[in-house]
Amino acid sequence: MARLNYDCLMVLFENFIDEPDGYGLLYNCALLNREWRTIADSFLYADPWKYWLYRSKNYNIAIQLIDTYMMCYNTVNLSSHENEGGIEEVRPQTRIRIEAPNNRNNDRIPLYDYIAFAKNLHIPSLYQCISLWYNFYHEEEREENDRSIYHLFLKIFELFVDRARIKECTFAESTEDNKYPVTLDQLNRLINQGHMVDLKYLNFGFFQCNSDGLTGITGKCDKLKTFKISAQKCSDEALENFIRTQKSLTKLKIRNAEKINLTLDALETQSSSLVKLRILSCNLKSCETPFNGIAACSKLRSIYMRKIIDWPRNVSPSTLLMPMAQNCEFHNVDFSNTYLPVDVLVEIAKKSSTTLRRVYLIGPENQVDDEFHDLSSGINALGSYAKNIHHFERDILPREINSMVYLLSSVGNSLIRLEIESRFMISYDASIIISTIGDHCPKLELLNIDYFNFTTESFERLIQGCQSLTSLSICNSKSVNEYMLNIIRDLAGENLRSLCIYGCDQVSLDAVENLRDETHIEVDTNIEVDDEGL
């Protein structure tokens, strides 16, 4: 049998990382023999948090991971202790070559300095794993555990700062969770004292970095490819300076900024590299000049402007957004819960006609069915120019029905996901849209038409025409009845695995159970047993 050499194994294991269960494969390979373990471990411990996160934060993985890191921690402490008295500590390379003293024969010595393998430091996961590990071994001390856990967390964190070549750092969760006691001190230690740290990815999550903290790392963390910040405590000037120092930023996410005009102007300095920009829940009231900084980014392919809080009084949103619509060829545009001027959408459709793939146009919370919020002309433009849309999302207005029919007739053959759930449609007949979907969207895999009303005939055309459907949501519809469940049973493609029918009063629990029994479809519903049937 031919034996794979070292270089082949390196390539093979590196490719495993991109597989859905790649870390499981690496773990199994590490068990086969010493050589395979040596190579597999270097990939496993480069980003150990992936295996922990992909396994839904598995308890046992957390214990094993921190067991390993504690071996490294104890070995480093032992090494430091042995070198006291004027003998300078020799920093170990990847492999540790230290013999245990006689009085510690039962202690486990790590084969490698696993911390030195790390290229990704996911601080929330580190803290969670340490917390699980500590509580597992110290159940009797739960009242004082928080302080001890935090103390141990700081010690292990210092090892990563001192010994690992960190390329990526997630500083806090991307959820509003303040349970993880990270501070600006840890940020300063990581950036300014981690002599092997060379960050390409920095994600602050919901950690509220202030102006002083960001200024403290400006110029010393200037090779980022991806930067994500929650900026409510950070001044526009500090964020602008940080952006201007970056050499080649490709992805930027700014959340909760109160003032951002200088920062958006500074994006011009990243014009040759920026490909993805996310602006979430930010206040644009201070922006009184067109977004020329964004428009200068010729490689920008994704623009997300979700939940914009406010716009300036004296300058229209159209004036601000038009330069980027006319100059950037987008793959993805997302204006969810944000007012989007229809003329801007028309220009995006024209400029990005050959590149546009995903379009998200959920209206703002105060949206009503009026001319101001009507995107009919923009939807028509998408149908006329953008022929390769894969995913379209919009809480459509009744006045947009004809435009949606035209869009679906024009681009339906490329659509994979269509989400047009809309409370505005609850009193209107949408049969023409349903029929058009069935006639023109054969590749559709996910469809959400909650609140829509339609005829049985149009629904039958939809089910017959969309044989690739895997997920269908028809919640809160006055039209859905038990006969339509029979249509699904008899005519749906074998790919359909998920059906959601919450709020459909004309469907009984017996009909739902019959559909479950006779098909492989998982039906989600809030239908309960009728009291009279008990």
Q: Angle at which helices 401-411 and 431-440 pack, to 10 degrees?
A: 10
Q: Which band of pLDDT confidence, cut at 50, 70 and 90, is reported for residue 233? A: very high
239, 229 contact by CB (below 8 A): yes
The residue ranges of every structural domain in the chain are 1-44, 52-82+106-208, 213-328
- What angle (nearest 5°) sits at the alpha carbon of residue 140, between those of residues 135 and 141? 70
Pairing label, strands 226-230, 522-524: unpaired
Residue 30, CA atoms < 13 Å, CB-side half-sphere: 15
Beta-strand runs (E) in 431-473: 446-448, 471-473
The Cβ of residue 466 has, within 10 Å, a number of other Cβ atoms equal to 26
Nearest to 469 by CA among 439, 499, 489, 490: 499
Token couple for 504: 């459909």
Digit-coded pLDDT (tens) for 253-270: 999 999 999 999 999 999
Least confident of 76-90, 178-192, 319-333, 337-351: 76-90
Mean pLDDT of 465-470: 97
Residue 38 pLDDT > 70: no
Mean pLDDT of 151-165: 92
Residue 95 pLDDT > 60: no
- What angle (nearest 5°) sits at the alpha carbon of residue 232, between those of residues 229 and 233? 95
386, 411 contact by CB (below 8 A): yes
Instruction: List residues bridging with 448 in a β-sheet.
Output: 419, 473
Give me the torsion for CA of 500, 502, 505, 511, rounded to 10°: 40
Task: Provide the b/e sequence for 23-40 (b: ≥16 CB within 10 Å).
Answer: bebbbebbeeeeebbbbb
Distance CA 52, CA 374 (A): 46
Distance CA 378, CA 323 (A): 17
Mean pLDDT of 214-237: 95
Nearest to 346 by CA among 385, 308, 372: 385
Token couple for 449: 């038409």
Task: Provide the b/e sequence for 284-294 (b: ≥16 CB within 10 Å).
Answer: bbebeebbebb
DSSP code for 139:
G
Q: Which band of pLDDT confidence, cut at 50, 70 and 90, is reported for residue 173? A: confident
In this predicted structure, what is the pLDDT of residue 53?
74
121, 160 contact by CB (below 8 A): yes
Mean pLDDT of 484-493: 95
Whole-angstrom CA distances from 380 to 396, 410, 452 are 13, 9, 21
3-state DSSP percent of the chain in helix, strand and coil, to 5: 45, 10, 40
Least confident of 26-35, 139-148, 448-457: 26-35
In this predicted structure, what is the pLDDT of residue 54?
66
Distance CA 319, CA 329 (A): 18
Q: Which band of pLDDT confidence, cut at 50, 70 and 90, is reported for residue 508? A: very high
Residue 90 pLDDT > 50: no
Pairing label, strands 201-208, 226-230: parallel
Distance CA 8, CA 3 (A): 10
- Percent of the chain at pLDDT > 90 equals 66
Between 50 and 428, the more confident residue is 428
In this predicted structure, what is the pLDDT of residue 302?
98
Helices (H), 30-122: 34-44, 48-54, 59-82, 114-117
Nearest to 259 by CA among 282, 275, 238, 276: 282
- 176 alpha-carbon distance from chain centroid: 15
In this predicted structure, what is the pLDDT of residue 101?
35
Token couple for 143: 């009242």
Residue 216 pLDDT > 60: yes
Instruction: List residues bridging with 391 in a β-sheet.
Output: 358, 417
Distance CA 105, CA 9 (A): 34
Between 80 and 119, the more confident residue is 119
Token couple for 237: 């000037």
Digit-coded pLDDT (tens) for 340-363: 999 999 999 999 999 999 999 999
Q: Which band of pLDDT confidence, cut at 50, 70 and 90, is reported for residue 23? A: low
Q: Phi/psi of residue 222, each to 5°?
A: -115, 15
In this predicted structure, what is the pLDDT of residue 109?
67
Mean pLDDT of 211-223: 92
Q: If you write DSSP's letter for every residue of 244-275 in order, what string do you get?
A: HH-SS--EEEEES-S--HHHHHHGGGGTTT--
The Cβ of residue 530 has, within 10 Å, a number of other Cβ atoms equal to 10
DSSP code for 427:
T
Digit-coded pLDDT (tens) for 394-426: 999 999 999 999 999 999 999 999 999 999 999
Residue 445 pLDDT > 60: yes
Whole-angstrom CA distances from 428 to 169, 215, 376, 421, 461 are 50, 55, 17, 13, 19
Mean pLDDT of 455-466: 98
Residue 37 pLDDT > 70: no
Q: How much is the mean pLDDT over the chain?
A: 87
In this predicted structure, what is the pLDDT of residue 3?
62
Q: Which band of pLDDT confidence, cut at 50, 70 and 90, is reported for residue 91? A: very low
Mean pLDDT of 524-532: 70
In this predicted structure, what is the pLDDT of residue 500?
97
Residue 531 pLDDT > 50: no
The Cβ of residue 374 has, within 10 Å, a number of other Cβ atoms equal to 15
Mean pLDDT of 444-452: 98
Mean pLDDT of 199-226: 93
Q: Which band of pLDDT confidence, cut at 50, 70 and 90, is reported for residue 80? A: low
Residue 325 pLDDT > 60: yes
Distance CA 47, CA 168 (A): 9
